[in-house]
Structure 1
Amino acid sequence: MPLIHRRIGLLFAGFVGLLAFAGFKASWLGTVKATTLKHAATTQQVSEITVPARRGAILDRHDVELAVSEPADDVAVTPYLVKDVPRAAKVLAPLLGADENDVLRKLARRDTGFVYLARQLPAQSGAAIAKLAIPGVQLIPTNRRMYPRNQLASQLLGRVGIDGHGLAGLEYSRDAVLRGHDGTRRLTKDALQQPIAVQDTVPAEAGKNLRLTIDAAIQSKVEAVLGAVGQVYRPKGATAIVMDPRDGEVLAMANWPRIDANDPSGAPDYARQNRAVGFNYEPGSTFKPFTVAGALGDHVVQPDTKFELGDTIQVADRTIHNNNNEPGGIFTTEQILAQSNNVGTITIGLKLGAKRFSRWVNRFGFGRPTGIDLPGEERGQVLARSKYSGSSMGNLPIGQGISVTPIQMADEYAAIANGGMLRPPRVVGAVGGVPTQTPPGKRIMSARTASDLRAMLEGVFAPGGTASEVSIPGYDLAGKTGTANKVDPRTGQYSTFNYVASFVGFAPARHPQLLCAVMVDEPQGAIYGGVVAAPAFGQIMAFALPYLRIPPH
């Protein structure tokens, strides 16, 4: 009996000790750890999530939607909370637009407490998933960027990453105003992580809309014309710009090949580039008017100044021929420009002299960005006067040994068209409903020089001119063709196979209201600007002039 009593006593003492410890622990948890435990419990039940701001829309000048944001959901899961994994995978897969086995693998993971099942799922699909109330599956509100016109102006608009930040084009350069300010939302959840109460603590502030200077109808026509050029001449790429030379507003900026802005992943890198601002090339004969402009500005020549020219010219150790070995003869300045005579243009450049030529090139703004409100603009390249060789004046006056971008050439010709003022082109017309200011211009040539050039450039479309086969009934046109050899990167010499064909022009010739520049990189089957690029200019202007109700003559 004593042994039994001792055992009972020990059991009783142990029970009392455990009871005392439990009481102490309960008291400690209720006092010392109360705040910490309360916070942990609240955190499990209440969480704050970021509510992305609705990204501002991008519109054309007539409020046609080019880029918009619509509500969407990221779908995530806490795998260990999913009770019936096979069934959940079966019902979720079609709503996610995913393979059932892929969903099954994600739901079956036990090495993580958070897995994305889908990003930026359309809100309609998200609502259907919410109705399923699958334990562990949660919806995180977000937005997804959509481009209603698909391929239209895709390189200009750019794209947005999965995190909502702009990655290219206007989406990148204007990201700060488009993105807005995110808000905060407090969610109260049950034990299975399903929301039972929602409260916005900080409302999201939507981004501002951008209204562009772009006209969707003109943009669409330009892209169609470039598409036809692409089919016929199979070039490496092509670009066209339409702008109002009076104020620098860009009405169209197109690139070929086109890419689908809603699915750019399959496009090669070069196709995503906005070549209008990012492609350097030698302008060739489209540069010749600026050689003549310098000579006119310094009163070295007049439009009717006559030159007796051969079919070649020797500059230091270099012999330069006319295009197609055209014969020499007596030519006026106007004829030299209209017929794109190499020997005559170099003769004018030599008459001007290297020092003054270099000064005019810098005054015109070559070798500097235009300042257009787009990212990725190249500045082109201009040879410093100190680096001129003996033969430099045998190639620079005819647009060799200097590089430009399409937007630079459009902007420079706009100065000829508007009376001599160079101003930054622009594609954004208003931000959040507030119009942007027209940038001030800088005079780069006299009004008289610009007027003389406009008259001379009409000759390009006259019989014997390099674009004589292009015409638009009722309209007088002015412009210049360009055909430039590309430098072979393997040899460092000019290629005899690869060329850039280009054309820049405006109308009406005497009182210009519209300008178009076309550049075609490495066309196949034909190489001349008058054959490849000038007809594209004609087709674009034949649509745009009456569309904009610009009267003939």
Structure 2
Amino acid sequence: MKTIQRIIRFAKVKTFAFKCIAVGAALALVATACVAQLASTQLIGGRQTAQAATASRTLTVTLSAKRGRILDTNGNVLAQSVERYTIVANPEAAQEFVPITCNDTTRDYCDEIDGKPVGATGAAAVGRLLAKALDMNAMELGAKMSGTGQYVVLKKDVTPQVKRSIDALNLGGIVWGELSSERLYADGEILGSLLGGVNDDGTGVAGIEQMENKELTGTDGHQTYQRGNGGEEIPGTMTESVAAKDGSDVTLTIDRDVQWYVKKVLKEAKSKYGSPWGIAVVQDIQNAQILALADSDEVEAGSDEAKMSTSRAVSETFEPGSVGKVISMSGYLQTGLHKMSDQLTVPDHTTQDGQTIKDSFDHGSERWTLAGILQNSSNVGMVLAGLGFTDEQRYEFLTKFGIGQPTGLGLPGESSGMLTSPSSWDLRTRNTILFGQGYTVNVLQLNNVVATIANKGVKQQQSIIKSTTSSGGAASKTGKDTATRVIDEDVAADMMNAMESVAESYSKFVKVDGYRMASKSGTAEVQGADGTLSSIISDYSVVIPADNPRYAVTVVLKDPSGVYGGLTAGPVSAQICEFLMQKYEVPVSSPRKNAIPVTW
């Protein structure tokens, strides 16, 4: 019996032992598998896992380059880009947001609004926290962050102060600011469409912003680093940093003070004379720099209108009328056809090639010299004096003075006007060409005609860009120092003499006390909206001082009451000239001597 019991006990012990061994073997197998997996993870896949983890928290951030400034000739800022931020959010993170209740322990990182609990969770809570800083509706903000995805723009062009206030809300990883910029213009409509504007990408799309876009545009940089759960940079993880290179500053020849004054008097003239528009240009005769180029239009620089339009002072073309006589008369003298003192008998009308030409006023047969013909602005006198002036010569001097050709300034939207070849002229046009009709000009071209005469017959390349300065401070002049002699110096002197007599004839309406002026007025009938010659262009070009030429000014008015250029555009040009003499403290003129006789 005992033997049987021992056998039974042995069998049970043996069975238990087997079970223990089996369990131990199973555990050993599991342990071996775990060790093998651990070894595989650490030794085989560790590098890939670490790389994946690093990649998931590595961020490359663009460092935006700032667009260069536009300055006037004295360094006054006309356009500049200022630091701004685009506030963006992660909707998925916003929807999981739970505000932290404020107490003594959490005071440095808790969430509350004006000392009170947020009162919501998720995107609604984030919206409530942001509403005051962004000056937006909390529900609108919450709705923006209730969608899918990890990126949504909440507001653009916020100031650094607003961005700092958002940073203080402890919303890292949910809401952050991306650096951008905003283009600001200092003087509103003073330069208007001439400056133009930039699009949403910061690219110049009109005016000088477009013309100088390459110089003004910088090169973006970037930084690569690892970020923590809150979106912050992990110290010591910066692997690459390339600094942004800001765009160059562009300095104009424009003098802001002169531009402001010219704009002011043009707007006053528009109102006084009932003109739809007026334009004007001021040019330094000594270096051909444009000091002012203005129109009466009220367009804010940087506005949608400025981006979609061209400055009228650049794009508007017109028949110059009698101002164009100085071109033909310069040709008469330069070719030797006439001297300024030559004597002619001039009736108030003449018929040439079957075409009747009349003066603007009735008169008998007048005994005028060539200087007298210019002073009295006689169309008939110009035609009679031009009988030996060939069509080719007429065209040659127009082109030498720059008519029908680009000014070389490169301003967007600039029109070169219209000048056809002699082969296309009819019998009337070949004569009207002599007194400024039958071709069109822009105000810059016309002003450079009188500036060329005042510059002793040498035509210079006009400029409106004075220099560029890189972000590193290196300056470079951009003007073109090209000059071409158009007429001889003695011819130019005789033209100035005759133009001074013209100015004296208008001295009751157009004068600057203490200063001699040389000028020419113009009035041209042009096509109106009805397709007939029902519209008027009145213009006036003047050089001051006549005895020491410093500035050339041209004013153009459309359909002014008073009609004639000398009575409308003339007084406006005198206002501008008076301002120039005072601003630049130009010495007064010496008395006039040796005037060429205007009658005989």
Please give the TM-score of this superposition, normalised by the length of structure 2. Answer: 0.80
* Aligned Cα root-mean-square deviation (Å): 3.1
The CA deviation at 1:169 is 2.2
Equivalence for 2:114:
none
Q: Out of 199, 212, 221, which is 1:183 matched to?
A: 221
Equivalence for 1:232:
272
Q: Out of 408, 421, 429, which is 2:466 matched to?
A: 429
Corresponding letter in the other structure for 1:60: D
Q: Match of 2:427, SS?
A: coil
Alpha-carbon separation, structure 2, partners of 1:144 and 1:279 = 31
Give the 3 Å change call, closer, same or farther, for CA 25–328 of structure 1 in structure 2.
Answer: farther
Give the 3 Å change call, closer, same or farther, for CA 460–194 of structure 1 in structure 2.
Answer: same
Matches within 5 A, 1:324-403: 324-325=361-362, 328-372=365-409, 374-403=411-440
Equivalence for 2:585:
549
Give the 3 Å change call, closer, same or farther, for CA 266–434 of structure 1 in structure 2.
Answer: closer
The CA deviation at 1:378 is 2.2
Equivalence for 1:532:
568
Q: Out of 430, 445, 449, which is 1:412 matched to?
A: 449
Is 1:53 aligned to residue 65 of structure 2?
yes
Q: Match of 2:167, SS?
A: helix
Equivalence for 1:163:
201
Equivalence for 2:487:
445
Is 1:75 aligned to residue 115 of structure 2?
no
Q: Out of 111, 124, 136, which is 2:174 matched to?
A: 136
Matches within 5 A, 1:181-220: 181-191=219-229, 193=231, 199=238, 201-220=241-260
Alpha-carbon separation, structure 2, partners of 1:225 and 1:25 = 87
The CA deviation at 1:542 is 0.3
Equivalence for 2:350:
313
The CA deviation at 1:242 is 1.0
Equivalence for 2:304:
265
Alpha-carbon separation, structure 2, partners of 1:317 and 1:330 = 25
Give the 3 Å change call, closer, same or farther, for CA 207–461 of structure 1 in structure 2.
Answer: same
Give the 3 Å change call, closer, same or farther, for CA 166–330 of structure 1 in structure 2.
Answer: same
Give the 3 Å change call, closer, same or farther, for CA 427–28 of structure 1 in structure 2.
Answer: farther
Equivalence for 2:329:
292
Corresponding letter in the other structure for 2:546: A
Residues 112-146 of structure 1, C-alpha deviation per residue, up to 9 Å, x if partnerless? Answer: 54332223322222222222243432211122222
> Bigger shift: 312-321 or 441-450?
312-321
Alpha-carbon contact 2:465-2:479 (below 8 Å) kept: no
Equivalence for 2:537:
500
Equivalence for 2:161:
124
Corresponding letter in the other structure for 2:366: G
Equivalence for 1:241:
281
Structure with the greater alpha carbon radius of gyration: 2
Give the 3 Å change call, closer, same or farther, for CA 71–309 of structure 1 in structure 2.
Answer: same
Is 1:85 aligned to residue 123 of structure 2?
yes
Alpha-carbon separation, structure 2, partners of 1:181 and 1:132 = 33
Alpha-carbon separation, structure 2, partners of 1:356 and 1:282 = 20
> Bigger shift: 79-88 or 215-224?
79-88
Residues 7-55 of structure 1, C-alpha deviation per residue, up to 9 Å, x if partnerless? Answer: xxxxxxxxx9999999999988878877766555434422112211122
Equivalence for 1:461:
503
Alpha-carbon separation, structure 1, partners of 2:419 and 2:304 = 35
Residues 485-538 of structure 1, C-alpha deviation per residue, up to 9 Å, x if partnerless? Answer: 3324663xx431x22222111111132011111122x33534322232111111
Alpha-carbon contact 1:184-1:201 (below 8 Å) kept: yes
Alpha-carbon contact 1:284-1:400 (below 8 Å) kept: yes
> Bigger shift: 442-451 or 121-130?
121-130
The CA deviation at 1:363 is 2.2
Alignment length, in residue pairs? 529
Corresponding letter in the other structure for 1:501: S
Unaligned stretches of 5+ residues in structure 2: 1-27, 96-121, 470-474, 590-600
The CA deviation at 1:238 is 2.3
Alpha-carbon contact 1:283-1:482 (below 8 Å) kept: yes
Q: Match of 1:540, SS?
A: helix
The CA deviation at 1:93 is 4.2
Residues 419-464 of structure 1, C-alpha deviation per residue, up to 9 Å, x if partnerless? Answer: 111121112222213334551201111111111111111122223x
Q: Match of 1:223, SS?
A: helix
The CA deviation at 1:104 is 4.1
Q: Match of 1:376, SS?
A: coil
Give the 3 Å change call, closer, same or farther, for CA 501–22 of structure 1 in structure 2.
Answer: farther
Please give the TM-score of this superposition, normalised by the length of structure 1. Answer: 0.87
The CA deviation at 1:224 is 1.2
The CA deviation at 1:75 is 1.8
Alpha-carbon contact 1:133-1:194 (below 8 Å) kept: no
Corresponding letter in the other structure for 1:454: M
Corresponding letter in the other structure for 1:423: Q
Give the 3 Å change call, closer, same or farther, for CA 41–60 of structure 1 in structure 2.
Answer: same
Alpha-carbon separation, structure 2, partners of 1:404 and 1:184 = 49
Alpha-carbon separation, structure 1, partners of 2:47 and 2:275 = 71
Q: Match of 2:67, SS?
A: coil
The CA deviation at 1:195 is 5.1
Alpha-carbon separation, structure 2, partners of 1:480 and 1:94 = 63
Q: Match of 1:56, SS?
A: coil
The CA deviation at 1:331 is 2.5
The CA deviation at 1:193 is 4.1
Q: Match of 2:272, SS?
A: helix
> Bigger shift: 247-256 or 320-329?
320-329
